[in-house]
Structure 1
Amino acid sequence: MDPFLILLNSFSSSLSDSELDSLKFLCRKEISKRRLESVRSGRDLFGILLEQQLIASDKVSVLEELFKNIKREDLVSQLKQFEEEGEVNAPDDQPDAHEKRFQKAAIEVICDNVGKDWKMLVRKLDVSEVKLERIVAANPYNLREQFYQSLREWQKWKGRDAKVADLIKALRGCNMNLVADKVEKKLLQLNTETS
């Protein structure tokens, strides 16, 4: 069974009627009024969101925002836990906790500092054009999210072989030396904190 569907099912059963009404209201821009009228449970709503590719196991930002808006921080934290632990890759194909922490910090610095040339960097990391187009289509108006999801896609694809050193090498290969320096500085800072 799909762990993401199991998670959505448990979310559905924990929603009150008023919370479901609030979620339906918040989804009015994404889902037609007629379809929303047919929604009787969280499962119905999540099914539509899945169908319209607004949510997926590797794309939970919409769901997270919805739960924050109805003040269900417990569901937000379950979602974050799933995001961190429920990756598609097998656990033995994941980087160790130390490397994951460094990757997360590096990606934050990169997203904050790389501008409109982000696609050049993602291509340097060998993320396929098809994946890139899919990510852009899924997040049409949010460049930062497109970039972030592209880097996450690289992480998933590489698994254990996703190294911060590769990110730095790609940055330097794109003549983004200032950003590469900032990443190295952040990693040095993290290293000092853990020592």
Structure 2
Amino acid sequence: MDPFLSLLHSFSLSLSDTELSSLKFLCRGKIGKRKLECVRSGGELFSILLEQQLIASDKVAFLEGMLESIKRKDLVSQLKQFVEEGELHAPEDQPDVHEKRLQKAAIEVICENVGRDWKMLMRKLGISEVKMDRIVAANPFNLQEQLVQSLREWQKWKGKDAKVTDLIRALRGCNMNLVADRVEQKLSSLNTGTS
């Protein structure tokens, strides 16, 4: 799946009707009135912009300007992050299916149990202060989302080297032993087929 299309899809899902109307208004000089009247979702609008080559994975200035105009700083920072990191890792750089399943389970437990101390955990995992600050800026009032995005950042950065054992080791290194125990319990229940 094209990472840029995935990004546009997530943007589309997060747009309110008012924001979509504003984006359509901003496109008036670029897209014909009749076409704009037919647009019912962000996805449809982005499709037209892609067709007319106004946006592309390596051509995001117009999209960035529109998102800034509707005051969606969170989406602007996601877009900038996408551009900085380039495309996501190639499939051969991803963990295997079993490891991904374990990671998903571990991340669920971590997100349910690690609160305000999430930055300490991320530092143990090697995530930079700059990346954490960017994540906080994109999700200023949502502690849970800050943690989720940080863990995703770690997964992307590590690729196939992202291991659940590293998460457990980092938790223990931060004296979050109870959370580490819960992760291990969840993983053993997955491995034995109970949950």
Question: Contact between 1:121 and 1:170, CA under 8 Å: does it hold in 2?
Answer: yes
Residue 172 (structure 1) shift: 0.3
Residue 115 (structure 1) shift: 1.1
Superposed CA offset, 1:28-77 (max 9, x none): 8xxxx865533435126x93348855174799xxxxxxxxxxxxxxxxxx
Question: Contact between 2:73 and 2:138, CA under 8 Å: does it hold in 1?
Answer: no
- Alpha-carbon distance in 1 for matches of 2:114, 2:9: 38
Secondary structure of the 2:151 match is helix
* Within-5 A mapping of 1:44-123: 47=63, 48-49=66-67, 52-54=73-75, 56=78, 88-123=88-123
User: Which residue does the alignment assign to 1:68?
Assistant: none
User: Which residue does the alignment assign to 1:3?
Assistant: 2
- Indicate how the Cα distance of structure 1 residues 97 and 172 shifts in structure 2: closer, same or farther if over 3 A, else same: same
1:163 matches 2:158 = no
- Indicate how the Cα distance of structure 1 residues 5 and 158 shifts in structure 2: closer, same or farther if over 3 A, else same: closer
Structure 2-normalised TM-score? 0.66
Residue 4 (structure 1) shift: 3.8
- After superposing the two structures, state which structure 1 stretch, 87-96 or 127-136, moved more: 87-96
- Alpha-carbon distance in 2 for matches of 1:24, 1:115: 29
1:25 matches 2:17 = yes
**Alignment coverage as a number of residue pairs:** 151
- Note the residue ranges of structure 1 that are not aligned, 5 or more in a row: 16-22, 60-86
Structure 1-normalised TM-score? 0.66
- Note the residue ranges of structure 2 that are not aligned, 5 or more in a row: 28-35, 40-44, 50-54, 56-62, 82-86
- Indicate how the Cα distance of structure 1 residues 5 and 148 shifts in structure 2: closer, same or farther if over 3 A, else same: closer
Identity %: 58
